[in-house]
Amino acid sequence: MPSDQAFDPTRRQIVGSLASGVAAAAVAGPALGQQSSQSTSQAVGEGAAAGAGDGSLLQKQDPTEQYPKPPFPEQPQEWPGLASEMEPRPDHGEESYRGSGRLTGRKALITGGDSGIGRAAAIAYAREGADVAINYLEAEESDAREVIELIEAEGRTAVAIPGDIREESFCRELVESAVEQLGGLDILVNNAARQQWKSSITDISTEDFDATMKTNLYAMLWITQAAMPHLEAGASIINTASVVAYDPPEILLDYSMTKAAIVNFTKCLAKQVAEQGIRVNAVAPGPFWTPLQPSGGQPQENVTTFGEETPMGRPGQPVELSGLYVLLASQESSYATGHVYSATGGRGGP
C-alpha cells in the first residue's frame, strides 16, 4: 500500500483508539496471540523476513532491530505483485504466529488474503481457530496457494475464491460462495487495495482512477452489502485504511482519497449496525512491507529507502498487524466500534 509523506506505506494509519485497557490489549495482542519456539533466523529459512532478530515474539526485543531496515534493492514487479518475489520476503507470521483459541469456530472472509496484511490476518485467524476464505486475483495464485496450505495445516477450512472485485456481480458471488463453503460468516475483512503512484493529477487517467475507486471503495460497499444478511450479533467488520488518510503524500492522490473515504465509511456504518450487535472498525497502518510497494505503489527509488523516515527506521512487517486484526475480530474488543487503529512506526496519528 502507500508511503506516508514522501515514501509512505502500504496502507493506513489511525484515528482513534479505545480506552487505555483495550488500546493496551491491541499492543499486547501479537505477544499474547503469537508464540514461537522457532528463532527468527529459522523463520527466515522458511521464507519469513530476513534479518529479523533472534528469539520468539514473546521475548523482549529491540523493535528497531527486529526486522530488516533499508536500504533495500530495487525490485520492480508488475501489478499486483507477489510476496514470493520480494527481497527480503515479508514476514506474515508463517513461522512466528501461534494462536490461543481467541477466534475458535468463527468464519472469516478476507479480501487480498494472498499476501501482505490480508495474508497475515488469514494466518493469524486460522491459528486462533477460525475457518478462512480468501479472495485474490488470478495473477496472485501462487501466493494464495501458500496461504491455503498454511490454513489447512491448522486443521481449519480454507476457501480460495479468485476473482476481480472491481466487478459488482463477482463481489456478490464472492460473499455467497464464502458463506456456502464456510457454513456462515462472522468476520469480514475488507483489505484488498490498488495503489499506483503518479507525480501529478494530470497523469491520472480516467481508467486508472476508475480502477482505484472500484478496487478500494466500490468493492468494499458491494461486498459489505452482500455480507450484511449473513452477519449476526457478535459479527465484526474490519476495513483497512491508511496513514495517508490523514497525511497524504503528493504522489498518491487517488489512493489517499479512497483511504480517507474508508475512515468515514467505517465510522458511519458502525452507527448504522450497532443495534444489530455488529461492530465495524478499521486499521490504518503506516509503511508496511508488502507487494503493493514494488508493483507500482512507490517509485523504485522510494522502495530502496522504504520506511527509513519513521522513528523505527524501518517498514513494518505484516505480522506486526496480526494482533490488531485478531483483537478487533474477537470478543475482547466488544465495546470497540467506529474506531480506527494504527501502527505507524512512530510517525504519529491524525
Question: How far apart are alpha carbons 118 and 134 in whole angstroms?
Answer: 8
Question: How far apart are alpha carbons 30 and 205 in whole angstroms?
Answer: 41
Residue length of the chain: 350
Angle subtended by helix axes 116-127 and 322-329, to nearest 10:
60
Single out the catalytic residue among 136, 246, 255, 325: 255
Question: How far apart are alpha carbons 276 and 273 in whole angstroms?
Answer: 5
Question: How far apart are alpha carbons 20 and 337 in whole angstroms?
Answer: 15
Q: Decide if 218 is catalytic.
A: no
In contact, 159 and 135? CB cutoff 8 Å? no
184, 233, 267, 275, 328 from 272: Cα distances, Å: 22, 13, 9, 7, 18
Classify 272 as helix, strand or coil.
helix
Among residues 284, 279, 295, 223, the alpha carbon closest in space to that of 248 is found at 284
Question: How far apart are alpha carbons 126 and 33 in whole angstroms?
Answer: 12
Find where cell 507477489 sits.
Answer: 82
Question: How far apart are alpha carbons 20 and 41 in whole angstroms?
Answer: 34
Question: How far apart are alpha carbons 301 and 310 in whole angstroms?
Answer: 17
Catalytic residues: 255
